[in-house]
Amino acid sequence: MKFDGGKQVKLSIISFMVQRNLIHRVHLRGSFQVTRAAWPHMKKNKYGRIIMVTSAAGIYGNFGQANYSAAKLGVHGMANTLAIEGKKDNIKVNTVAPMAGSRMTETVMPPDVVQTLKPEYVAPLVLYLTHDSCEESGSLFEVGGGWIGKLRWKRTIDATCRTKDKPMTPEDVRENWDKITDFTDATHPTTSTESTAHMLSVIQNIEKGGSKKQRSTSSRGIDPDQAINQKMKPTTFTFTKKEVILYALGIGVSTQQEDYLKFLFELSDDFCVIPSFAVVPAFSAMGDGLIGGVPGLNVDPTKILHGEQYTELYKPFPTSGTLTSRGTIVDVLDKGSGAVILMDGRFKARNTANPPSRAPDASMSEKTSIDQVGSKLEILLIHLLEPQMLA
């Protein structure tokens, strides 16, 4: 009997392609076709809810399921794009990866375990995600047995492995491998725009000759290579209602204003803290945590300018208490005669910007009130910070 190896290989490839196409037609193309039929009606009505179904095999991979895994992860990728395209038409799209008892799981799991994975424990999540009150979109959830978890991407701070006008080599990658794979301080990009913006910012810095490999210790005592990713020691700032009132006075709250009592009178029923009070503990953090306390940043405190701060409040400031500030040096940008030090600056924004060469679009001047004199504010800040800086 003559064995034709080439024919057998060809038959095996054909069999594989048939199985692969079948899996893709059911899971990926099937999801696409159903969505394509419903999409125009959802757009017309300015309302829609779509739930895609993926699996752990698609998210994490699984032995012997390359075709199935590819199709299932493709479903989630399609859902991500549909969520972006449907946003303007109030179409919410999410993906669930259910673990439920089925004929397939019955063959690999004990009966008592299968009983805990009833579809009834998956359906409530699907019902909530499709309810008109749910605003969630573009998200991925694992669900099973009454447990629900949301998944997201996580990316390391990364490393710059090349310098301007020099080739990038595998050795550069090897030298930076520990940093490339270090998730200690990670970001969570949620859009391709956010991901690309960071990369373009890094490329822009390289093209300006600002690669970290080219940096060196300056005569001013700044060593970016040593300073970046350094954690500052935590600092505390204790304040009372008196400091809250002094701050309000310092930024111009006046008795001439209609609602001044809630900012200047501690017994007022509406007494509260102006949110920008957050800059005060930030000054304390710079004084205690930055000056002389971070390797690579030996700077003169008289030459430090608190230039910009992003603050997000999750609940109103208490009118008294102790705040703890923790910071990390994210980057050091060389500005020629000085440097910009970015502390915990990862709040979904670019960290560099090219100023336009044109004249200003608009220019205005405004006279400060008699209650808001510059020297008064400086004295106030010194008064507020002095106890902490001397501690």
Q: Are 342 and 230 in contact (CB under 8 A)?
A: no
Fold of 11-151: Rossmann fold (3.40.50)
* Distance, CA of 114 to CA of 274 (rounded, Å): 55
The reply to whether 11-151 and 224-354+365-390 are identical in fold is no
SS3 letters across the chain? CCCCHHHHHHHHHHHHHHHHHHHHHHHHHHHHHHHHHHHHHHHHHCCEEEEEECCHHHHHCCCCCHHHHHHHHHHHHHHHHHHHHHHHHCEEEEEEEECCCCHHHHCCCCHHHHHCCCHHHCHHHHHHHCCCCCCCCCCEEEEECCEEEEECCCECCCCCCCCCCCCCCHHHHHHCHHHHCCCCCCECCCCHHHHHHHHHHHHHHHHCCCCHHHCCCCCCCECHHHHCCCECCCEEEEECHHHHHHHHHHCCCCCCCCCCHHHHCCCCCCCCCCHHHHHHHHHHHHHHHHCCCCCCECCCHHHCCCCCCCCCCCCCCCCCEEEEECCEEEEEEECCCCEEEEECCCCCCCCCCCCCCCCCCCCCCCCCCCCCCHHHHHHHHHHHHHHHHHC
Predicted confidence (pLDDT) per residue in 97-155, tens digit: 998 776 666 666 777 777 788 888 999 999 999 999 999 999 999 999 899 999 999 98
Burial class of residue 304 in the structure, from the number of CB atoms within 10 Å of its CB (0-12 exposed, 13-18 middle, 19+ buried): middle
Catalytic residue among 68, 128, 310, 314: 68
Ranked by mean pLDDT, the top range of 42-46, 227-231, 282-286, 368-372 is 42-46
End-to-end alpha-carbon separation of the chain, Å?
94
Q: What is the chain's mean pLDDT, rounded?
A: 79
Q: pLDDT band for 388, please (50, 70, 90 cuts).
A: very low
- Is 12 or 259 the better-scoring residue by pLDDT? 259
- Tell me whether residue 68 is one of the annotated catalytic residues: yes
Say yes or no to pLDDT of 382 above 90: no
Tell me the CATH number for domain 224-354+365-390: 3.10.129.10
Domains in the chain: boundaries: 11-151, 170-214, 224-354+365-390
pLDDT of residue 4: 52
Determine the average pLDDT of the residues in 68-84.
Answer: 94
Say yes or no to pLDDT of 57 above 60: yes
